[in-house]
């Protein structure tokens, strides 16, 4: 498949990860002929090159959200606004439950994010435009029956339910692509909204420790990637340091 060329690190990582998952599933299924001890460990995964998060430029971000406001689909319109205003992963958004909002009185309204990619639960503060998007979707949602949660197998009332069915990621991706095309900025991946959210907070002066809590990162290395994008913050730190040196 590599046509005589070396197999890429990304494909090596995918193959070893698949094999590791296969052996873990054998243990989970209690297969009689499963290996007696783990054969593939996390340390066996090839180290992928460090990717810099691809945040939207301020102009592209502004034009995209103007186009999102004009989407005819209220579910996708509200979902994209919430993704941009909370930094949620797409899977975390779709797993939000009906009682996910918490009012802390003097501390405003916060969003309770369910266990996600890194098996962590967190709360995220909401600004008024994002809270308005929740209110708008609540006015369209209507009543629905509980679904069995795919992870916990308990009945759950999910937030994103349309005509008795849970909303899929494809609907959001299609509408995001439509808005990006109308804004003239090409393809936009939903995760870029998370990168844009995080970069804006760092450039606004949020500490990496606070950003780590808001994004739900466990390894600090994941959050440190955003320091490379914090141009204003880095510039201020540089100017301060160079002034003291001089």
Q: What is the pLDDT of residues 52-96, one digit of tens each?
A: 558 888 899 999 999 999 999 999 999 999 999 999 999 999 999
Q: What percent of the chain has pLDDT over 70?
A: 87
Q: Are 208 and 202 in contact (CB under 8 A)?
A: yes
User: CA-CA distance, 191 to 65, in Å (whole number)?
Assistant: 15
Interior angle at CA 93, CA 225 and CA 61, nearest 5:
55
Q: Are 72 and 60 in contact (CB under 8 A)?
A: no
pLDDT tens-digit readout, 166-201: 999 999 999 999 999 999 998 999 999 998 998 888
In 29-127, alpha helices (H): 58-69, 74-86, 90-94
Specify the residue for token string 């340390």: 43
Q: Is the pTM of this model over 0.85?
A: no
* Residue 34 reports pLDDT greater than 90: no
> Confidence class of residue 228 from pLDDT cuts 50, 70 and 90?
low
* Residue 151 reports pLDDT greater than 90: no
Of the candidates 163, 189, 162, 183, the residue with the CA atom closest to the CA atom of residue 78: 162
């Amino acid at each position: 498949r590599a046509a005589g060329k070396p197999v890429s690190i990304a494909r090596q990582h995918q193959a070893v990860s698949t094999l590791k998952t296969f052996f873990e599933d054998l243990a989970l299924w209690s297969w009689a002929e499963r290996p007696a001890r783990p054969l593939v460990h996390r340390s066996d995964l090839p180290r992928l090159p460090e990717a810099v998060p691809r945040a939207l430029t301020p102009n592209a971000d502004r034009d995209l959200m103007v186009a999102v406001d004009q989407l005819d689909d209220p579910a996708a319109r509200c979902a994209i606004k919430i993704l941009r205003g909370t930094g949620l992963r797409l899977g975390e958004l779709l797993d939000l439950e009906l009682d996910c909002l918490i009012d802390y009185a003097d501390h405003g309204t916060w969003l309770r994010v369910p266990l996600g990619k890194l098996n962590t639960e967190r709360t995220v503060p909401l600004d008024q435009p994002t809270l308005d998007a929740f209110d708008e979707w609540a006015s369209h949602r209507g009543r629905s029956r509980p679904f069995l949660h795919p992870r916990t197998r308990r009945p759950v009332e999910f937030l994103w339910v349309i005509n008795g069915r849970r909303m899929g990621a494809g609907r959001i991706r299609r509408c995001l692509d439509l808005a990006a095309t109308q804004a003239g900025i090409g393809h936009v991946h939903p995760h870029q909204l998370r990168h844009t959210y995080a970069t804006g907070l760092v450039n606004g002066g949020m500490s990496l420790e606070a950003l780590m809590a808001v994004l739900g990162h466990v390894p600090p290395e994941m959050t440190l990637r955003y320091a490379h994008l914090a141009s204003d913050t880095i510039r201020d730190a540089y100017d301060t340091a160079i002034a003291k040196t001089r």
